Amino acid sequence: HLVPYIEAEKQVGERGSGNGRRSAGRIVMATVKGDVHDIGKNFVGVVLGCNDYEVIDLGVMVPWPRILETAREQEADLIGLSGLITPSLEEMRTVATEMEREGFTIPLLIGGATTSRAHTAVKIEPCYSGPVVHVQDASRAVGVASALVDAAQRDAFMVRTRAEYAVVRSDHEGRDRTIRRLTIDEARANRTRLDWSSTPPRPVALGVTTIPDQPLADLVDRIDWGPFFTTWELAGRYPQILDDPRVGSAARSLFEDAQGMLRRVVDERLLRADGVVGFWPAASTLDDDIELYEDESRTRVVARIHTLRQQMAKPDGRPNVALSDYVAPPGSAADDFIGAFAVTTGIGLDEARATFVAAHDDYSAILITALADRLAEAFAETLHERVRRELWGYAPDEALDNEALIAERYQGIRPAPGYPACPDHTEKRTIFDLLGAEERVGMSLTESMAMLPASSVSGLYFWHPQARYFGLGRIGRDQLEDYARRKGWTLDKARRWLAPNIADDA
């Protein structure tokens, strides 16, 4: 609605020439190499565009040379980087390093779900002598951009920001030095001790099962609407948010639009949902791996899942947990199993989005993308419920409503590579190969292990009643070296993939 009015006030032709009014600023934006997520970036682009900024959006999976080349060619005032998965944090650091090497001085804006003010201050700002600013969300983008492009504001703004980031770095270094970590051997000696005297439940069928064309209508009632509203920067619990005195009106309007779009998605089959699930005999190892076997003879290992163990010293005798603790060790009385899955609701999304964008309907393009992500999580939740009640059957009498499922009151867990309990995204490759996800359902992985289509979920299934989600925290050099050995990696490669979880002194 606003763009035609904005453009009408601008001079046609060369930027800044003649009597026409130039834009508020020109920004090159991109989701960095290896990452396919762009909802946040698109929000920022729309907000900046509506505030008279000229946005050059390079899309997703953009390598740093193209970002810098475009910024030079277009005489950009700003560069904005976005990313969702943790490997993107290192790619952003690479962009900052290359900007410094090539003599850039323009501001660099950092944003995305996994980014933070602390990470920007500690890892990215030291790589670039120009202005580096973390932008928490789209609502703050205009204020930050305006301060950086205005010569009268920039110096004072950056003096404050750099001083704040220096404090953040100092606090970070101080906190990391005060945390006591066990050696990896000590942490393993303090592993979770589970009772494996009883026989674990056996999945109904071992091997891989494809779930083609999952009916989308069956997923709608399993949607967790809380993260949907968070995506749109509306804070509050669902359904209470609909009556919130501050954001309730906007939330209700958005929710009505989402319901209308969901009806279109289902009725017009704008999206397709496919999935794959599998189960294997398994056993944990003393060095925190999980071996998966070809069959129940347990003689041939077909894959190895690598897990990481907490190393922070725990009070009150609490264990240092690794996911491998939730699988029976070899030699125990229990013959255990493990499951894996990969689901997507993103098939057809690119085409649907393109149709909306061609009609200059950015709102609907973002709306269907946000809903596709919610449907993917709903698919994962629905499949996990089937696993517990039918496919593995270790909780056949489970009867939980959607609120209880969202609160994870069920037995067992389904952790995903890249999340706090297992931050190594490369474990997705093992899962995809085991499931044949590329051949069976057309899902693939980028070089940074982002899943394609973007609206996808994958992970592992652990059945044990005492299995819990947890955060790994930071690991020491001894575990880093041990993990590199187990993965067959160089130490540098291990550092690159596990960077957010490595202690400063490692």
Residues with a catalytic annotation lie at: 35, 37, 88
Asked if residue 239 has a cis previous peptide bond (ω within 30° of 0), the answer is yes
| Run of H or E including 93 | helix 87-101
| Antiparallel, parallel or unpaired: β 25-31 and 456-461 | unpaired
Residues 406 and 426: their CA atoms lie apart, in Å, by: 27
CB 276 within 8 A of CB 441: yes
Burial of 358 (C-beta count, 10 Å sphere; 0-12/13-18/19+): exposed
Nearest to 475 by CA among 268, 184, 206: 184
Q: Is 75 left (phi over 0), alpha (psi -120 to 50) or beta?
A: left
Max distance between CA atoms of the chain, in angstroms, equals 84
CB 34 within 8 A of CB 450: yes
Q: Is 239 left (phi over 0), alpha (psi -120 to 50) or beta?
A: alpha
| Three-class secondary structure assignment of 369-397 | HHHHHHHHHHHHHHHHHHHHHHHCCCCCC
Helix, strand or coil, per DSSP, at residue 78: strand
CB 124 within 8 A of CB 92: yes
Residues 451 and 179: their CA atoms lie apart, in Å, by: 34
- Name 452's bridge partners: 444
Residues 98 and 327: their CA atoms lie apart, in Å, by: 44
Helix, strand or coil, per DSSP, at residue 339: strand
Residues 108 and 130: their CA atoms lie apart, in Å, by: 8
Nearest to 384 by CA among 339, 417, 433, 423: 339
Give the Å distances, CA to CA, from 283 to 101, 102, 177. 49, 51, 36
Please spell the DSSP secondary structure of 178-212, one letter per residue: H--B--HHHHHHT-------SPPPPPSS-EEEEE-
Residues 91 and 78: their CA atoms lie apart, in Å, by: 18
Half-sphere exposure of 347 (CA within 13 A, CB side): 16
Instruction: Copy the structure tokens of residue 278.
Output: 């599998």
| Three-class secondary structure assignment of 46-58 | HHHHCCCEEEEEC
